[in-house]
Amino acid sequence: MTSVFSGRPSAAAGVRWTSAALLVALGAGTVRARRRLRALPALPPTPACSAGVPRAAGWRLLTARGVEADPATFLAACAYADREGLRVLDLLPGDLAAERVLGLLRLVDPARYRDDRLGEGRGAGCAVLVSEEVLARAGIDGEVGAGAGSPGPDRAELLALIRRLKEYAADATGLAVAPALSGGRPAPDADTGPVRVAELRAQGLPPGALAAAQLAGLALLATVAGRQGRWGAAAAGLYWLQPYLALGGPRGPLRPADLARATAARPVRSLGAALRTAAHAARPRTPTAADRARVAAYRADLAGGTDRFLEPRRPDCPWCGSRRLTVRVRVPDLLQGKPGRFTLEQCGACAHVFQNPRLTPEGLEFYYRDFYDGRGGEGAGTVFGRLGASYRARAEMLRPYGGAPASWLDVGTGHGHFCNAARAVWPQTRFDGLDMGEGVREAERRGWVESGFQGQFPEFAEKLAGRYEVVSMYHYLEHTRDPLAELDAAAEVLAPGGLVAIELPDPQSRMARLLGSAWLPWFQPQHQHLIPAPNLREALADRGFTVLAEEHGPAHQGNDFFGAVALTATHLAPDPDRPWGPPATPRRRAAAAAVRAAALPCFAGAAVLDAVRTAAARRSDGGNAYRMLARKVGP
């Protein structure tokens, strides 16, 4: 309806779009859950093993407290895992609670779960069958959850264990319904805030943010139900009936025992669970001995100030030697909020951007600490695990320039995420990794790389000379102290005709100018050099390489606006529990929570802008990063 006074649509007509959007979202979620439910396999009866009695040797069944599996279920699970080539199998009880089923189906698509080499391990937290070989490689006690007098892990511990185990069986982990397995009677504290928060954290999910989102969603549903007539009532009703619509109908192997109760009481139970989760998530964690030791170490490091972590400023460009230097950006540590301020200068002759003064080796150790490993290791692993499409695109870039390479060295491999994903593209290739951190050893134990070399690349160049057909450096050169020496090492390690693949942030990106110090790829203080593409092409030619391909749009990372919001929010409200900061106080915690809550709509808007920006970058072949592929043709 249009107002005769203003000529604009009335508010009542406009807000119905909110109800329509909610109906579409809830309907799509319900259909998706039902589709995923149908994709869940079920264990066959035990006699299905053609060889008679299934083999149980070499397997361990880990169960949560209160969950008991009968021998027939164990043998059926062993037979199924053997037949499917699985090394880890999470078992879903046939009577698993409805909201647990819905929560699991939101996180994982059973049809794609096994083939997603970087996907996080997910399960019901009730029972998991694991090969003893995987348990040994993962360094997990083979008797956990079993043995006389052992209470076994609780659900949160088992959920965390499943995440870890999938890392050691990246393409050999599955889910299956065990119809005869019962989830047991809920413990008295099963629905309390502490238990819910522990289970969410065990799955790598942020309890506070999820509770806030759930409360906001419930408030929105209540508003549209009260103010938008039939459309609003339909949206609220769809949410209310969602458990039955998604999980009810024809009786299958998964039959939630509480489906009727969960559907009838859903709004009240959801509200109560969200309030309890939010209340407990806001409480400070009790510091552990490791936390106290970390705080003491940082205080000792900071007692002498941060100036000692910086070298004297150099007057010339490390790339071309020009003395025409100007300040590009000055910025504090927006990544972790550690003390210090850093300057990036740009050369007027070659446009090279570099940290000046740069960090000393001791400074690098201080600012890298607890980012990729230690306190920040889990978060970094989650981020890297979501870049599967980018990893596969990097590997696919080589297809037009030869067959499957026999040997590939990934320099700056971290925990080996790229190598793990690239195996799906080049299954016959031997992937090795090199990195300064301990993560490369973990990558070797997981089987994500065949051999892991820990140390500086130039130090290994002579030992590895001529060994590899491909050397990759994806977002690595910008972290190094001397990128030209790293290119020299790549030329030495490659066999004649070998390929070097490089990906870097592009300091000539338009977004670098638009966002200023909030542009994520500045990544201070970790990034030492930001190299324009013409400079890299010239350096490769000087070392006997011919550039075969250069990509800008496909290399774009869609995080410009989201990253700017994240860096700004971190700067305004740093983590109150960071061990290098002042002691946390209730006032600091409240301020941090308020900033994070206010940032939520900004994150949503940034995600939309990044989607538009990414589409434009793909079409225009211009983005915030570039890839280059070159062949070694001369000495």
State pLDDT tens for residues 411-439.
999 999 999 999 999 999 999 999 999 99
Cα distances (angstroms) measured from residue 432 to each of 165, 255, 386, 390, 454: 21, 46, 21, 19, 11
Q: Please say whether the beta carbons of 272 and 114 come within 8 A.
A: no
Domain contains 328: no
Q: CB count, 10 Å around CB of 592?
A: 19
- Same domain? For 378 and 279 the reply is no
In this predicted model, what pLDDT tens digit does every residue of 303-314 receive, in sequence order? 989 999 999 999
Determine the structural domain holding residue 505 and report its residue range. 374-557+623-632
Among positive and negative, which fits the CA dihedral 93, 99, 102, 108? negative
- Same domain? For 257 and 395 the reply is no
What is the structure's pLDDT at 6?
Answer: 37
What is the structure's pLDDT at 193?
Answer: 82
Is the model's pLDDT at 634 over the cut of 80?
no
Lowest mean pLDDT segment, chosen from 147-156, 316-325, 397-406: 147-156
Q: Please say whether the beta carbons of 212 and 272 come within 8 A.
A: no
Confidence category of residue 376, pLDDT binned at 50, 70, 90: confident
Confidence category of residue 286, pLDDT binned at 50, 70, 90: confident
Residue carrying structure tokens 């890298």: 368
In this predicted model, what pLDDT tens digit does every residue of 548-584 receive, in sequence order? 999 999 999 999 999 999 999 999 989 998 999 998 8
- Same domain? For 269 and 398 the reply is no
Last residue of a domain, one of 283, 300, 319: 283
The partner residues of 454 in beta bridges, in order of sequence, read 435
What is the spatial distance between Cα 27 and Cα 33, in angstroms, rounded to a whole number?
10
Q: Please say whether the beta carbons of 618 and 390 come within 8 A.
A: no
Last residue of a domain, one of 227, 260, 283: 283
Is the model's pLDDT at 55 over the cut of 70?
no
Cα–Cα nearest to 577, from 361, 382, 375: 375
Furthest-apart CA atoms within the chain: distance in Å: 83
Is the model's pLDDT at 14 over the cut of 80?
no
What is the structure's pLDDT at 433?
Answer: 98
Confidence category of residue 284, pLDDT binned at 50, 70, 90: confident
Phi, psi angle pair for 569, to nearest 5°? -65, -40
Is the model's pLDDT at 526 over the cut of 90?
yes
Q: CB count, 10 Å around CB of 242?
A: 20
Last residue of a domain, one of 222, 253, 283: 283
Q: For strand 127-131 and strand 59-63, is the pairing parallel, antiparallel, or unpaired? A: antiparallel
Report the percent of the chain where pLDDT is more than 90: 75
Confidence category of residue 190, pLDDT binned at 50, 70, 90: low
- Same domain? For 386 and 262 the reply is no
Helical residues (DSSP H) of 311-387, grouped into ranges: 361-368, 377-385
Q: Give the residue-averaged pLDDT of 149-167.
A: 88
Q: Please say whether the beta carbons of 373 and 549 come within 8 A.
A: no
- Same domain? For 381 and 255 the reply is no
- Same domain? For 385 and 269 the reply is no
Is the model's pLDDT at 345 over the cut of 90?
yes
Is the model's pLDDT at 396 over the cut of 70?
yes
Is the model's pLDDT at 10 over the cut of 60?
no
- Same domain? For 268 and 382 the reply is no
- Same domain? For 252 and 398 the reply is no
Cα distances (angstroms) measured from residue 504 to each of 351, 480, 526, 628, 629: 15, 12, 14, 9, 12
Is the model's pLDDT at 165 over the cut of 50?
yes
Is the model's pLDDT at 49 over the cut of 80?
no
What is the structure's pLDDT at 600?
Answer: 84
Domain contains 339: no
Q: CB count, 10 Å around CB of 546?
A: 11
As a residue count, the chain comes to 635
In this predicted model, what pLDDT tens digit does every residue of 95-150 receive, in sequence order? 999 999 999 999 999 999 999 999 999 999 999 999 999 999 999 865 454 444 45
Predicted TM-score of the model (pTM):
0.89
Domain contains 607: no
- Same domain? For 404 and 266 the reply is no
What is the structure's pLDDT at 50?
Answer: 44
Cα–Cα nearest to 460, from 440, 446, 445: 440
What is the structure's pLDDT at 596?
Answer: 85
Is the model's pLDDT at 508 over the cut of 60?
yes
Identity (one letter) of the amino acid at 463?
A: K
**Residue 462 burial by CB count (10 A; 0-12/13-18/19+): exposed, middle or buried?**
exposed
Q: How many domains does the chain have?
A: 2
- Same domain? For 86 and 195 the reply is yes
What is the structure's pLDDT at 609?
Answer: 96
Q: What is the CATH number of the domain that holds 550?
A: 3.40.50.150
Cα–Cα nearest to 310, from 286, 353, 290, 339: 339
- Same domain? For 258 and 394 the reply is no
The partner residues of 341 in beta bridges, in order of sequence, read 332
**Residue 103 burial by CB count (10 A; 0-12/13-18/19+): exposed, middle or buried?**
middle
In this predicted model, what pLDDT tens digit does every residue of 219-231 receive, in sequence order? 999 999 988 888 9
Domain contains 586: no
Secondary structure (DSSP) of 508-571: T-HHHHHHGGG-GGG-TTT--EE--HHHHHHHHHHTTEEEEEEESGGG--S-HHHHHHHHHHHH
Confidence category of residue 410, pLDDT binned at 50, 70, 90: very high
What is the structure's pLDDT at 568?
Answer: 95
Domain contains 390: yes
Domain contains 574: no
Secondary structure (DSSP) of 176-220: EEETT----SPPTTTTSHHHHHHHHHHTT--HHHHHHHHHHHHHH
What is the structure's pLDDT at 5?
Answer: 33
What is the structure's pLDDT at 116?
Answer: 94
Domain contains 592: no
Q: Please say whether the beta carbons of 156 and 21 come within 8 A.
A: no
Instruction: Please give the mean pLDDT across all residues of the chain.
Output: 91
Q: Give the residue-averaged pLDDT of 248-259.
A: 85
Name the token pair of 553: 């749009």
In this predicted model, what pLDDT tens digit does every residue of 583-608 receive, in sequence order? 888 888 888 888 988 898 899 999 99
Is the model's pLDDT at 615 over the cut of 80?
yes
Domain contains 333: no
Is the model's pLDDT at 251 over the cut of 80?
no
- Same domain? For 261 and 393 the reply is no
